[in-house]
Amino acid sequence: MKIKSKWLSIFLVLGLVLAACGGDGEGTTTTAGSGDETTTTEDMGEDTTTTEGEMMEIATDVGVDLEAGTITVGLLSDLTGPFGPLVTAIVAGHNAYWTQVNATGGINGLTVNLETVDTVYDVTNHVQFYEELKGEVVAFGHSTGSPHTVAINSDLQADGILAIPLTWYSGWTDPAINSNLLPHGTPYCIEAMNNIEYMVGLSGLESPTIAIASIPGDYGLDSAEGALLAADALGLEVVYNGVGKVIPNDETTYDEVAAGIVGSDADLVFYTATPGAFSAVYGRAIAAGFTAMWSGASPSWNPAFVAEDSAIREAIARDFVGSSYYEPWDGESAGAANVREVMTAAGAPATDYYGEGFIEASILHQVLQAAYDSGDMTQAGVLAAAKTLTSVEFDGLGPTEVYTGEPNDIVQRSQWMTRPSLESETGTMIVESNYTSDIAAAYEFTGACYVLEG
Amino acid sequence: MLYTSYEADQAMVNTTTKRVALFLFVVFLVAIPLFREGAIGGGDNPTGSLPGPSFLAEGDWLRLLATVLIFAIGGLGLNILTGLAGQVSLGHAFFMGLGAYVAAVFGMPGGGLWGLGLPIWIWLPLAGLIPAIIGVLVAPTAVRVRGLYLAIVTLGLVFIGEYLWRNLDFITGGSQSGRSHPPFEFRLWKEEEPLISFAEDGTWFGILNLDSTGKTYLFLLVLTVLFIVFAKNLQRTRVGRAFMSIRDRDIAAEVMGVNEFKYKTLAFAISSFFAGVSGALLASFVGRSIPETWILFLSVQFIAIVLIGGAGTVSGTLMGSAFVILLPRIIRDVTGWMQDVVDAGDSFLASIFDFVVSTDQADFGLVNTAPGVAPGLGIDQLNLVIYGLLIIGFLIFEPLGLYGIWLRIRNYWKGWPFTY
Amino acid sequence: MPELFILAQATSEGTNEVAQLFVQGLALGSIYALLAMGFVIIFKATQVLNFAHGAIAALGAFFVAVFATVWDVPEAWMPDSPLWVSWSLAVLLALVVAFGLGMLLERTFIRPMIGEELFAVAIVTLGVDIMVRAITNDFIGTNSRPLGDPWGTGVLDLGWVRIAHTEIVQMVVTIVLVVAVALFFRSRTGVAMRATAFDQEAARAQGIAVGRIFSLSWGIGAVLAAVAGVFLSLYPRRAAGLDTQTAFFAFAAFPAIVLGGLDSIIGAVVGGLIIGLAQAYSALLPWEFLGTGFGGVVPYLVMLIVLLVKPYGLFGTEEIRRV
């Protein structure tokens, strides 16, 4: 028996120590200590206790503790799954925003704490964490993933809690669905229209041919639907349709779609996928000698594509056209400058994704403030305050978000266009700000581009 | 143990101690939802409750317990196939997915996706029967191939299942999008208002208040008990003995007259029935499933449940299910507690825990509470590491699993103070 | 077969599709062959079905990524030499570490299980897989990691077929390794390993240190897996490099192993090539009817068909079962 346990224990200790030393030291999207934001109970920042002047009568139930002076907000995030680097940076942005706000008094003296959980982009986990957190938080600062948010939507409605979706699926603008949601940003299908019109302009071709492909699911299919609409509106010939044909991690689908794109000899390619699936198909295509202009929905891009050791860096810098729903790191607006200042002070590396965190946090800030002012900070009160929002502005970091009016009038249609850059810290450079394509502006938005069945 | 009659020996609960203990345990399980504050009492704002650990009755723990029950049903199925009949199967996830989609097709109203809108007393049994039939169809291949080759063939079943779920999008909703599953509610036939709905809180006898999770939990408890009784009974019947003989020496069994083909097929069928029902319950409990729910890792979870609990034993499977499902939550709570101790400041415990837990990039630690940022294993990854270690550890040190540990404890106390 | 005639004509890119798929099939098949060979060596010597093979492959590739791109070893020591020399040395270094890792795993987790039921040991390796994969994924992080190989996006364009430089290297290295393994089994230690695989007790009686043979077989298996892991993470297969999903690729090699026979090394190589070619040529199937991702299922179907005819694989030895 001795032999069994000795080696086992050595291995265990070794393994755990190695694991501790390893982990995410490198990489462009890790953030430095904004410190302790991921636990619930501690106060951060300055110790501001009660408000000056009179204490208002505030109704609270869950997530707001007037005695301790804290407000707890939940973040259902994908930190180690397919969109890990993206969401990790977004969470860092959230944290930094609230640190800044808490340092200047919070919400009338109440500090905001974030409870972040890692769902690993799994629906069952998402639902389980929702159930756990709904008894601890006053609202959800973000909920990652379209099918995941759909899964908890009926529960949100039954429980009367607010959530901000961290997905740009066009269905969130539907009043029948979004009673407990605050969508923001340009939906995937409108983004596709913008990207394609921009690409056509950039290519200088009269009537370029286009290949369209995507992974399945609301993310991929919504974006692809927009691409098909754009091709139709611009009169482009779709020479290859691989919509929903790429299955992440299934090599044969990569081969098939890459072969299809190459064989179609298209001038433009619009392909929405996870970064891994995108680079796999792109790599195969250029190995076959294919050259064209490529684009896809914003989450298809990963700055690691132009990292120092990446095999495809020159090629993709030449071919790729990127987009962003909010101003990237290098932007000129006051909002972007604020992001740069705050994140650099926190010691975080330069990356484009913090902006989303700031935007979500800004929306939530306005909601919480409105709830406080109305004297009702229960979960239902916060939800009601959210529904009274008319518009939210972001100092130029993102287009003004309007919440009252017909979906066709308030849906977001403008975004930023970017190109990869081998020199810049973030891997991208902005080429166009607040860009709305003609077809997107003219598009009659009557409902979700891709309708989620069942 | 001295048994004076064959019946006494074969009885499922054979001693008075066992009977009493079992009765008390069942009473405890049934009473769990009543530990919640406000569970007892009439009127608008009841505040009474049964004395007991009230945290168990809170929404999220009660949900975990309900999940334990669902996985127990599936685990019992795999236990019959692998523990009792000795047939290695990694294909459990396939049959679970199949059961879930059968339930969806029969139970959900039609619309964009296939659905017939039939009541629960049709879709739940069908969710077991149809996978059982498919299990019978799969069995001949499995029978022809043995041991480790069988493991890989059943592995193939999971991948074929993934391919089917992805492409049959008129049933499954398609990759990453998924579909909703029928809620738990009783109707006689397609009426508007269900007789009993588990989605709302309810009051029984005027004084017992159960919330929707409590009602669902009790419903699942009843189902689980039914399956447990069936499984335990199976062990002592002719069929069960045939299974065990095949597991031990299949050639000798055949020589003795046990029809290997028939019994292996039966084992697959029964196991698939359990798996199908378990899958349907899981999908309806979460409310929504995507084709990526039914992947290899789900099968591995069941193998872990059976092995960690103790292959071949019913109580072992139940313990294994509780262990595997509750472990992630316990790890999370423990690391959260360690984090609190560290934050609270100086104490001996705090300095030890500081070594173990890390919160940001600069902090050294084995486990981090800021995934993706701080070094060390994330909670999810720590779960997996402990999972793997437990599987390994139990197989190396205690092949009988938790049941074996239980036996040792029990025998120790029985023989105390005579340890030999 | 009119389809094949049409495809035999050059496509608009100038490549002959049948030939192109053949090359792709060989490249894929060589990876499967390496995985299968390592697996079978472990199985033959220790009777263990190693579910952890994929995790070891990913970990091996991770070592290469760290040596070549993070620590710059041995590039930092020999700055004037061409990139492919220093990179190859980095790979060799990583393989040495992988060898040690294989031996460590065997010693820690497999040795205590000697004499236990085979199924139990297989599940132990499943546990090892879960564990090693979780730790490796933690090291890899959420971004992909390029391996820093010197061939980048280079492609050899012969007109009727295009072969990426990495694919050429793959096939050459695979041939070298197959020959090396074949020669190894002629050597003294190799014969000792064959003897142990055939009959453990008799081998022990002959004075062979069976424990050391076990460790050696796991070390060799780990090295082969690591090489396969490196090839998996190169352009154009995964242009962005190694990521947390790479380990799952090994499951695609199981059909190759079973097809060839669990205890036959020739079977492993042949099986790997067959499955690779089958998967590549599945691109010719009418996709509309079969939906997406059928190519991923093809290996398993091929395996099932072969097993129905030959339940022990093409080259596997029939098990003699005694009561």
Looking at residue A416, the DSSP 8-state letter turns out to be: E
Asked if C133 lies within 8 A of B395 by C-beta distance, the reply is: no
Residues B153 and B54 in one domain: yes
**Confidence band for C263, pLDDT divided at 50, 70 and 90:** confident
Express each pLDDT in A21-76 by its tens digit: 443 333 333 333 333 333 333 333 333 333 444 456 788 888 888 888 889 999 99
Per-residue buried b or exposed e for A305-321, using 16+ beta carbons within 10 Å of the residue's own CB: bbbebbbbbebbbebbb
Partners of residue A23 in chain C, C-beta under 8 Å: 138-139, 141
Q: Would you call B366 an interface residue with chain A, using a CB distance cutoff of 8 Å?
A: yes
Structural domain contains residue B143: yes
Asked if B177 lies within 8 A of A123 by C-beta distance, the reply is: no
The predicted pLDDT at position A454 comes to 61
Q: How far is B385 from chain C (nearest CA, A)?
A: 4
The CA distances from residue C63 to C32, C48, C71, C147, in Å, are 20, 25, 10, 9
Among A16, A36, A453, the residue with its CB nearest the CB of B366 is A16
Q: Provide Rg for chain C, Cα atoms.
A: 20
Structural domain contains residue B48: yes
Range A278-281, long-range pairs (CB < 8 A, 24+ positions) = A278/A302, A279/A305, A279/A312, A279/C144, A279/C238, A279/C239, A279/C240, A280/A251, A280/A254, A280/C237, A280/C238, A280/C239, A280/C240, A281/A213, A281/A246, A281/A254, A281/A257
**B174: domain range?**
29-293
Plot region of A275 (φ>0 → left; ψ -120 to 50 → alpha; else → beta): alpha
Tell me how crowded residue C146 is: count the other CB atoms within 10 A of its CB.
27
Beta-sheet pairing, A428-435 with A111-118: unpaired
Of the residues B235, B264, B293, which one is the last residue of a structural domain? B293
Express each pLDDT in B382-417 by its tens digit: 888 888 888 888 888 888 888 888 888 888 887 777
- pLDDT of B180 > 90? The answer is no
* 3-class secondary structure, A23: coil
Residues B39 and B114 in one domain: yes
Partners of residue C249 in chain A, C-beta under 8 Å: 251
The average pLDDT across C257-262 equals: 86
Placement of tokens 């399956």 in the chain: B227
Residues B85 and B217 in one domain: yes
Asked if C293 lies within 8 A of A247 by C-beta distance, the reply is: yes
Residues B242 and B378 in one domain: no
Express each pLDDT in C164-211 by its tens digit: 888 899 999 999 999 999 899 888 888 888 888 878 788 888 888 888
Among B180, B286, B375, the residue with its CB nearest the CB of A127 is B286
Placement of tokens 């608009």 in the chain: C12
Tell me how crowded residue C93 is: count the other CB atoms within 10 A of its CB.
17
- pLDDT of C88 > 80? The answer is yes
Average pLDDT value over all residues in chain C = 84
SS (H, E, C) A344-407: HHCCCCCCCCHHHHHHHHHHHHHHHHHHHHHCEECHHHHHHHHHCCCEECCCCCCCCEECCCCH
Residue B273 CB-density burial (10 A; 0-12 exposed, 13-18 middle, 19+ buried):
buried
**Confidence band for C6, pLDDT divided at 50, 70 and 90:** very low
Among C283, C292, C296, the residue with its CB nearest the CB of A244 is C292
The CA distances from residue C11 to A17, A208, C18, in Å, are 55, 20, 10
Residues B183 and B274 in one domain: yes
- pLDDT of B13 > 80? The answer is no
The residue among A352, A333, A340, A322 whose CA lies nearest residue A416 is A322
Interface test with C, best of B89, B92, B163, B382 (most C CBs within 10 A): B163
- Could you state, in order of their start, the residue ranges of all structural domains in chain A? 54-186+330-410, 188-324+414-442
Plot region of A93 (φ>0 → left; ψ -120 to 50 → alpha; else → beta): alpha
Placement of tokens 């352009």 in the chain: C235
Residues B247 and B321 in one domain: no
Structural domain contains residue B209: yes
**Confidence band for C276, pLDDT divided at 50, 70 and 90:** very high
Q: Would you call B144 an interface residue with chain A, using a CB distance cutoff of 8 Å?
A: no
What proportion of chain B, given as a percentage, has pLDDT over 90? 27
Express each pLDDT in C36-45 by its tens digit: 999 999 988 8
Structural domain contains residue B305: no
CATH of region A54-186+330-410, choose from 3.30.565.10, 3.20.20.70, 3.30.9.60, 3.40.50.2300: 3.40.50.2300
Looking at residue B378, the DSSP 8-state letter turns out to be: -
β-strand partners of B368: B358
The CA distances from residue B133 to A102, B139, B157, C92, in Å, are 61, 10, 15, 53
**Rounded to whole angstroms, how far apart are CA atoms A265 and A202?**
18
The predicted pLDDT at position B198 comes to 77
pTM score: 0.86
Ramachandran angles phi, psi of A15, nearest 5°: -60, -45
Residue A3 CB-density burial (10 A; 0-12 exposed, 13-18 middle, 19+ buried):
exposed
**Rounded to whole angstroms, how far apart are CA atoms A185 and A412?**
6
- pLDDT of B24 > 90? The answer is no
Are A54-186+330-410 and A188-324+414-442 the same fold in CATH? yes
Torsion of CA A197, A198, A199, A204, to 10 degrees: 90
The average pLDDT across B351-363 equals: 66
- Report, at the CATH architecture level, how domain A188-324+414-442 is classified: 3-Layer(aba) Sandwich (3.40)
**Rounded to whole angstroms, how far apart are CA atoms A169 and B169?**
19
Structural domain contains residue B17: no
Task: Please tell me the least confidently modeled range out of A268-277, B143-152, B280-289.
Answer: B143-152
Residue type, B20: V
Residues B67 and B112 in one domain: yes
The average pLDDT across B128-133 equals: 96
Partners of residue A74 in chain B, C-beta under 8 Å: none
> Would the ipTM clear 0.90, i.e. be above it?
no
What proportion of chain B, given as a percentage, has pLDDT over 70? 91
Residues near B140 by beta carbon (within 8 Å), at least 6 away in sequence: B261, B265
Report how many domains make up chain B: 2
Residues B319 and B229 in one domain: no
Tokens coding A429: 């450079």
The predicted pLDDT at position C322 comes to 62
Among A8, A19, A256, the residue with its CB nearest the CB of C108 is A8
The residue among C211, C215, C217 whose CA lies nearest residue C104 is C215
B176: closest chain A residue by CA = A217
Express each pLDDT in B295-346 by its tens digit: 998 998 998 899 888 888 888 999 999 988 998 888 888 887 887 777 777 7
Torsion of CA B162, B168, B174, B175, to 10 degrees: 20
- pLDDT of B183 > 60? The answer is yes
Partners of residue C127 in chain B, C-beta under 8 Å: 387-392, 395
Express each pLDDT in C203-252 by its tens digit: 888 888 888 899 999 999 999 999 999 998 888 788 778 888 888 888 88
Angle of CA points A132, A137, A139, to nearest 5°: 115
Residues B284 and B158 in one domain: yes
Asked if B58 lies within 8 A of A135 by C-beta distance, the reply is: yes
The predicted pLDDT at position C63 comes to 92
Ramachandran angles phi, psi of B248, nearest 5°: -75, -50
The predicted pLDDT at position B332 comes to 81
CB within 8 Å of chain B, chain C residues 273-292: 290-292
Partners of residue A120 in chain B, C-beta under 8 Å: 380
Neighbours of chain B (3+ CB pairs under 8 A): A, C
More confident residue, B9 or A277: A277
The predicted pLDDT at position A360 comes to 93
Placement of tokens 């970091």 in the chain: A397
Of the residues B230, B263, B293, which one is the last residue of a structural domain? B293
The average pLDDT across B257-272 equals: 92
* 3-class secondary structure, B114: coil
Angle of CA points A370, A374, A380, to nearest 5°: 80
Ramachandran angles phi, psi of C233, nearest 5°: -100, 10
Task: Please give the distance of CA B393 from its chain centroid, rounded to a whole number.
Answer: 21
Dmax of chain B from CA atoms?
71
Partners of residue C141 in chain B, C-beta under 8 Å: 372
- pLDDT of B369 > 70? The answer is no
**Confidence band for B44, pLDDT divided at 50, 70 and 90:** low
- pLDDT of B84 > 50? The answer is yes
Q: How far is B17 from chain A (nearest CA, A)?
A: 35
The predicted pLDDT at position C323 comes to 61
Residues B267 and B346 in one domain: no
Beta strands in A177-292 (DSSP E): 209-214, 237-242, 268-272
Structural domain contains residue B16: no
Tell me how crowded residue C291 is: count the other CB atoms within 10 A of its CB.
15
pLDDT < 70: residue spans in chain A: 1-56, 453-454
Residues B280 and B391 in one domain: no
Q: Would you call A97 an interface residue with chain B, using a CB distance cutoff of 8 Å?
A: no
The predicted pLDDT at position A24 comes to 36
Residues near B404 by beta carbon (within 8 Å), at least 6 away in sequence: B310, B316, B398
Residues B182 and B86 in one domain: yes
β-strand partners of B186: B196
CB within 8 Å of chain A, chain B residues 193-212: 199
Asked if C147 lies within 8 A of A249 by C-beta distance, the reply is: no
Residues near A124 by beta carbon (within 8 Å), at least 6 away in sequence: B286, B293
The predicted pLDDT at position B67 comes to 94
The predicted pLDDT at position B372 comes to 54
The predicted pLDDT at position A325 comes to 92
Structural domain contains residue B12: no
**Rounded to whole angstroms, how far apart are CA atoms C90 and A309?**
15
Q: Would you call B122 an interface residue with chain A, using a CB distance cutoff of 8 Å?
A: no
Task: Please tell me the least confidently modeled range out of A397-411, C5-19, C60-74, C264-278.
Answer: C5-19
